Structure 1
Amino acid sequence: MMEETRMPPEAAIFGTANGVFFMAIFGTLWAYTGIMGLQWPGGTQTALLIIALLIGIALCTTGFLLLRSGRKFSGTSAGSKSGKKQRNAFNLIFAAEGIAIAIAIFVCNATQITQLIPIIVALIVGVHFFPLASLFGVRVYHLTGGLICAIALVAWIFIPERISIGGYEANAYMTVVGLGSALVLWLTSLQIVRIGRGIVQNAEAR
Structure 2
Amino acid sequence: MSVFASMWEILGVSGLIPRVSASALFCAAALAIAAAVISVTLTIRFGALPGPRRTRRVTPNSFRVFGQVNIGQTVAIVAAVMILGRLDLWVYIPAAVCLVVGLHFLPLARSFAQPQYWWTGGLLITLALAGAVTLADGGDAANVRLFIGFGAALVLWATALHVARRG
Q: TM-score range by the shorter chain?
A: 0.7 to 0.9
Query: SS of the residue aligned with 1:38?
Result: coil
Aligned length: 153
Distance in 1 (alpha carbons) for counterparts of 2:107 and 2:123: 15
Match in the other structure for 1:32: 10
Query: SS of the residue aligned with 1:105?
Result: helix
Match in the other structure for 1:116: 92
Match in the other structure for 1:20: none
Distance in 2 (alpha carbons) for counterparts of 1:173 and 1:106: 20
Unaligned runs of 5+ residues in structure 1 are: 1-22, 68-80, 163-169, 197-206
Offset at 1:155?
2.1
Structure 1 residues 143-152 or 54-63, which shifts more? 54-63
Distance in 1 (alpha carbons) for counterparts of 2:166 and 2:81: 35
Offset at 1:153?
1.4
Offset at 1:151?
1.2
Unaligned runs of 5+ residues in structure 2 are: 49-58
Distance in 1 (alpha carbons) for counterparts of 2:163 and 2:33: 19
Residues 4, 153 of structure 2: 8 Å contact kept: yes
Residues 115, 161 of structure 1: 8 Å contact kept: no
TM-score, normalisation: structure 1: 0.69
CA RMSD between the two structures: 1.9
Match in the other structure for 1:189: 160
> Moved runs in structure 1, 4+ residues, more than 3 A?
158-161
Offset at 1:152?
1.5
Offset at 1:54?
2.0
Distance in 1 (alpha carbons) for counterparts of 2:37 and 2:29: 12
